[in-house]
């Protein structure tokens, strides 16, 4: 368990490279927001979470429950899922838009790049400021 990383995971690095290559800039693991989102776009009021399928209880092949200590893992993963729901509700209440990306859906050909661009919007419009 001590070798499990919560930051800079391979799925997270993949998404960060893709977003940076598109010209978007972001902050990482912003501690002053609920849930410390993986990527924060302050000027757009948008955040991205990159969830590992196992740790966040996704219903895919990567989210399988271990065969040993089943009660422990079910309780742990259920707590993670409840915390995720609460975090998203709190962020939305603060006026942030949220996107959750699952580890299993980060492979090529899944439309990941288009989904991110659609969520973030144009790179130029968020930075235009009207002067009074």
Domain-located, residue 111: no
Total domains, the chain: 1
Question: Which CATH number belongs to the domain containing residue 62 in this structure?
Answer: 3.40.960.10
Domain-located, residue 73: yes
Residue 51's H or E segment, with its range, is strand 46-51
Print pLDDT tens along the chain (132 aa). 444 566 778 889 999 998 998 889 999 998 999 999 999 999 999 999 999 888 888 888 887 888 888 899 999 999 999 999 999 999 999 999 999 999 888 876 678 888 888 999 876 544 444 444
Domain-located, residue 37: yes
Domain-located, residue 121: no
Q: Whole-model pTM? A: 0.83
Domain-located, residue 131: no
Task: For 126, list phi and psi in degrees, rounded to 5.
Answer: -70, -20
Q: Considering only CA atoms, which of 60, 32, 63, 36 is closest in space to residue 49?
A: 36
70 is in which domain, residue-wise?
A: 10-106
């Amino acid at each position: 368990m001590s070798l499990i990383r919560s930051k800079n995971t391979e799925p997270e690095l993949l998404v960060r490279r893709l977003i940076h290559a598109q010209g978007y800039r972001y902050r990482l693991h912003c501690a002053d927001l609920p849930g410390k989102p993986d990527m924060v776009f302050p000027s757009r009021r948008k955040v991205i979470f990159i969830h590992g399928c196992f740790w966040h209880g996704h219903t895919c092949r990567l989210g399988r429950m271990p065969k040993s200590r089943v009660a422990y893992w079910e309780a742990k993963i259920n707590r993670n899922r409840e915390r995720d729901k609460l975090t998203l509700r709190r962020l939305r209440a603060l006026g942030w838009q949220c996107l959750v990306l699952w580890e299993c859906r980060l492979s090529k050909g899944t439309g990941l790049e288009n989904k991110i661009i659609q969520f973030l919007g144009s790179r130029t419009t968020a930075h235009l400021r009207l002067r009074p």
